[in-house]
């Protein structure tokens, strides 16, 4: 069958199925199981209302359970078993093997580098862009352009930046802007940027900073607008200059939002995969955990090792997870 038709059919079946599930299950509850009539009308209404939330929640709970909660436990189990031995329990052997792997430590090291650089730069650029665009007439247009990379896939961004980092032999015209500028400002020979260890990590990070800055800008700009005018006015009257106003009055008031932006980008960074996969595939010392894991799983077919690497990623997001839940509970009280 034509995939487009199949897709259409699935939309109809999926959407129709969902709607009819919700409709029919509610009808069943009200008309058949606990009808609000007869001698037990009051009791039936109460019972129906106790059950109803679970009808509404059932599909979501199933999907969340199967697609997110179960895999966490299953991955943990897989990480201590060996597929080659028919899934026998091997304890920490997978982890021990992984800790002996230089590539793993390279990935961990790079991930920490990403964690240091990308959230910091994205937030800083985002804050700068938010503050600068806030009070000029064409600010919204400028914002739209800085925000635009959010819509571009990591793979698309990888192509875009591969063109920027492109290298041609010295006797030809450079078509990558970076080499063209480098030669223009006195470089001796064009450089294959993505193969210089350590620095190539930064060239990959720039791609993510380029994408995430818009996100930081949008949120921080809203936060800046929420600052009470009086505080700024008071500072002006007291003779503060624009820089003092920005750093001493505004930043402290939006520090909460800065933390939220920072952690959100941190989570994106921890899962970063597509950029590295498409640009260097972890060669030249640019490996990161998510790509290391993909390597183990689908190239080396090593499920135990891959699961162990996945658990390390999980371990790294756990503090954020706990902090988020803590905040959410505080908010509800």
Residues 137-176 that bind another protein (CB under 8 A): 139, 142, 144-164, 166, 168, 172-176
114 vs 154, beta carbon nearer another protein = 154
How many residues bind another protein, per CB under 8 A? 123
In whole angstroms, the minimum distance from the beta carbon of 170 to another protein comes to 15
Q: Verify binding: residue 35, another protein, rule CB under 8 A.
A: no
Structural tokens at position 203: 């060239």
C-alpha–C-alpha distance, residues 309 and 299, integer Å = 14
In the complex, what is the shortest distance from the CB of residue 118 to another protein, in angstroms, rounded to a whole number?
16
Full DSSP string of 126-149: HHHHHHHHHTSTTHHHHHHHHHGG
CA-based angle 108:310:280, to the nearest 5? 55
Residue 199: CB minimum distance to another protein, A: 19
Which region among 23-31, 91-99, 105-113, 194-202 touches another protein (by CB under 8 A)?
Answer: 23-31
> Which CB, 78 or 98, lies closer to another protein?
78
Smallest distance from another protein to CB 44, Å: 13
CA-CA distance, 321 to 34, in Å (whole number)? 40
Task: Tell me which residues in 253-312 interact with another protein (CB under 8 A).
Answer: 257, 260-261, 264, 267, 270-271, 273-274, 277-278, 290, 293-294, 297-298, 303, 306-307, 309-311
- Eight-state DSSP code of residue 220: H
For 163, phi and psi rounded to 5 degrees?
-65, -40
- Give 88 or 222: the residue with its C-beta nearer to another protein: 222
Residue 278 sits at the vertex; the CA angle it makes with 273 and 282, to the nearest 5 degrees, is 65
Interface characters, 49-78, with another protein (x: CB under 8 A)? xx-xxx-xx-xxx-xx-xxxxxxx-xx--x
Residue 242 CB, shortest distance to another protein, in Å, is 5
- Of the pair 41, 325, the CB lying nearest another protein is at 325
Q: CB under 8 Å to 180, separation ≥6 — which residues?
A: 174
**CB 294 to another protein: min, Å:** 8
Q: What residues numbered 186-245 form the site for another protein, per CB under 8 A? A: 210, 213-215, 218-219, 222-223, 229, 232-233, 236, 241-242, 245
Give min distance, CB of 117 to another protein, in A.
17
Q: For the chain, where are the alpha helices, taking DSSP H only?
A: 3-27, 41-64, 70-79, 93-99, 102-134, 139-147, 154-164, 177-184, 199-225, 229-237, 242-244, 251-253, 255-270, 274-279, 289-294, 303-332
User: How many other C-beta atoms are found inside a 10 Å radius of the C-beta of residue 300?
Assistant: 10
**Smaller CB distance to another protein: residue 3 or 38?**
3
């Amino acid at each position: 069958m034509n995939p487009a038709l199949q897709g259409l059919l699935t939309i109809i079946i999926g959407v129709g199925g969902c709607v009819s599930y919700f409709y029919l299950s509610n009808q069943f509850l009200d008309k058949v199981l606990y009808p609000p009539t007869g001698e037990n009308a009051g009791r039936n209404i109460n019972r129906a209302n106790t059950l109803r939330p679970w009808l509404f929640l059932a599909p979501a709970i199933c999907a969340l359970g199967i697609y997110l909660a179960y895999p966490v436990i299953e991955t943990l189990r897989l990480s201590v078993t060996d597929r080659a031995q028919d899934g026998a329990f091997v304890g920490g052997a997978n982890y021990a093997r992984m800790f002996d792997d230089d590539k793993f430590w390279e990935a961990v090291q790079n991930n920490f580098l990403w964690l240091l650089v990308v959230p910091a730069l994205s937030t800083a650029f985002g804050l700068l862009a938010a503050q600068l665009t806030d009070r000029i007439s064409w600010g919204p247009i400028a914002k739209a352009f800085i925000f635009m990379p959010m819509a571009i896939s990591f793979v698309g961004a990888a192509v875009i930046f591969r063109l920027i980092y492109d290298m041609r032999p010295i006797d030809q015209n450079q078509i990558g802007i970076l080499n063209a500028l480098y030669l223009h400002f006195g470089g001796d020979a064009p450089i294959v940027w993505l193969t210089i260890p350590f620095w190539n990590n930064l060239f990959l990070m720039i791609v993510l900073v380029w994408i995430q800055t818009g996100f930081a800008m949008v949120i921080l700009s809203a936060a800046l607008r929420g600052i009470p005018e009086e505080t700024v006015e008071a500072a002006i009257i007291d003779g503060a200059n624009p820089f003092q106003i920005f750093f001493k009055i505004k930043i402290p008031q939006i520090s909460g939002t800065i933390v939220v932006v920072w952690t959100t980008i941190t989570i994106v960074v921890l899962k970063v995969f597509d950029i590295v996969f498409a640009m260097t595939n972890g060669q030249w010392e640019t490996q990161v955990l998510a790509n290391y894991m993909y390597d183990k799983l689908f190239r080396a077919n090593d499920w135990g090792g891959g699961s162990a690497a996945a658990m390390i990623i999980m371990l790294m997001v756990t503090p954020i997870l706990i902090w988020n839940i803590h905040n959410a509970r505080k908010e509800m009280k």
